[in-house]
Structure 1
Amino acid sequence: MTTTAAAFRALHHDRAPGDPLALPGPWDAASARVFEEAGFPALATPSAGVAASLGYADGAVPPREMFEAVARVARAVSVPVSADVEDGYGLPARQLVGRLWDAGVVGCNLEDSTEDGLKDPREQAEYLAAVREVAGPELFVNARVDTYVRGVADLEETVARARLYVEAGADCVYVIMAPVDVLPSLRERVEAPLNAICVADGASPAELGRKGASRVTFGPGLQRRAMAALRDIAAAGLG
């Protein structure tokens, strides 16, 4: 586990501008194999994409089913897999880390909001520190900052949260849905790799990299594009 986690961590560092680490988001074992065969060095499951594949709305998957689905993805490929586990499902740090390791993943996303809104940033930092204490270097922690996705478009608040989470031991910061023009400020002011999301009709991974992203993920976007293609095939009479 340590060697794989270390290798995954190394992929995030010393990235050339315009060449961020692109991590496609598999939603099941079959899609994971497609991405591995395409040559991607690692994968990152999206909770919304996995939820859709299991027949649930985003955020409604029972934790046991989510960890089982992530484990199937990790077993299907030989490259490192990181898992989006939302806000940790209310699990204590030791139990969360144990479930992640049982699933065979080397990293996770942990977000700082719930359906009720943003969490207290210091409480979130304490949780991240507890996860780091339990896991040591054997888990890559990607701290998601939900200010922009929750309608708090405040750069100072975003930077303050990101810095707290890095101080608590996060390996990477993911300011989901941050405007592209904000990325350079985040890159300059937060001393950790920066994760940006690539969305349909938005900036390309290369452009996000030039703006400061070390890592680019796609959320449930690839799963939704695959389903759109399948709908087109079905509408054409399966021809």
Structure 2
Amino acid sequence: MDDATMIFRGLHDQERPFLLPNAWDVGSAIAFAAAGFPAIGTTSFGVNASGGRPDAGGASKEATLALVRRLRVLPVPISADIEDGYSDDPEEVGALVAGLGVAGVNLEDSAAGHLVDPSIPAAKIAAIKRAAPDVFVNARVDSYWYHEDTALSSVVARAQRYLEAGADGVFFPGEIEAAALEQLTASLPVPVNVLASPGVTLDDFAALGVRRVSTGSLPYRAAIDAAVAVAEAVRDGGDLPIATSYAVAQQRLLDFEARERAATADA
């Protein structure tokens, strides 16, 4: 197991949940790393949207693979959002993850906006663990996201199916009542991941047993809103926001470029 993978696993074993910011391009990932976040994930929505495509349906595959290959030179572990693995063939999914060179992946259990039979993602998880046993597999249960089969017993059963296949953690996106979330974390012997939620702090999540919180596509969507607000302020004579200077932003990119050159030379 390499250092990045060990570090990433260790981040799930803290008193407070570790916050995983989700990047959509190199620039956002560099900024998260510069801000001191100990690991960075990708967001399929942000990757798709920045390329002018709607989310899901496997549209993010090539862009995500290209992005992840570049982000591996950053000095922090990377976790890739690979939607449903971009294939119905478990062995293809396993081979894809083995070639990513990342510390973790998210694998969802839905397609075309609906839950799939749990045997399908379970087979993919098992294939990933055969091909890349050290990669932290975060099995995403989309029951609450798509409002399907949300009875607690059903949600737990899906999660347990993925744990039996080898998943290292479980991700429950969507709105979940605090009591239900507390029952979920108590029922599962692995780290539980949720999305950041308005008015809920990391300490609040810790009290419910959550060990990882992801920003999801929120930073991308907020960045788009902020960009529009800047243009509106210029148009309407409003106050302009304070931003990272051009010089600092440029230096971050130069440093990243140097890391890429060094990595290529060492290969």
Aligned pair in 2 of structure 1 residues 198, 57: CA closer, same or farther (>3 Å)? same
* 1:68 is aligned to 2:61: no
Shift of 1:25: 0.6
Q: CA RMSD in A?
A: 1.8
Q: Is the 8 A contact 1:68 1:103 kept in 2?
A: no
Aligned pair in 2 of structure 1 residues 141, 72: CA closer, same or farther (>3 Å)? same
Aligned pair in 2 of structure 1 residues 183, 229: CA closer, same or farther (>3 Å)? same
Q: Is the 8 A contact 1:67 1:100 kept in 2?
A: no
* 2:205 aligned partner: 208
Measured in 2, the distance between the counterparts of 1:4 and 1:144 equals: 22
Greater shift in the superposed pair: 175-184 or 156-165 = 175-184
Q: Is the 8 A contact 2:45 2:56 kept in 1?
A: yes
1:44-123 residue pairs with structure 2 within 5 A?
44-60=41-57, 61-75=59-73, 77-90=74-87, 92-115=89-112, 117-123=114-120
Measured in 2, the distance between the counterparts of 1:159 and 1:216 equals: 19
- Per-residue CA distance 1:126-185 (angstroms, 9 max, x = gap): 221121111112x11000001111212211110001111111110100011141412110
Matched residues, number: 233
Question: Which of the pair has more CA radius of gyration?
Answer: 2
Structure 2: gaps (5+ residues): 241-267
1 or 2 for the larger relative contact order (CA 8 Å, sep ≥6)?
A: 1
* 1:148 is aligned to 2:137: no
- TM-score (normalised: structure 2): 0.81
- TM-score (normalised: structure 1): 0.90
Aligned pair in 2 of structure 1 residues 43, 180: CA closer, same or farther (>3 Å)? farther
Partner of 2:231, secondary structure, is: helix
- Per-residue CA distance 1:7-29 (angstroms, 9 max, x = gap): 2112112x21xx10100011111
Q: Which amino acid aligns with 1:141?
A: V
Structure 1 residue corresponding to 2:17, chosen from 20, 24, 27: 20
Q: Is the 8 A contact 2:12 2:18 kept in 1?
A: yes
- Identity of matched residues, %: 37
Structure 1: gaps (5+ residues): none
Partner of 2:133, secondary structure, is: helix
Partner of 2:72, secondary structure, is: helix
Measured in 1, the distance between the counterparts of 2:175 and 2:72 equals: 29
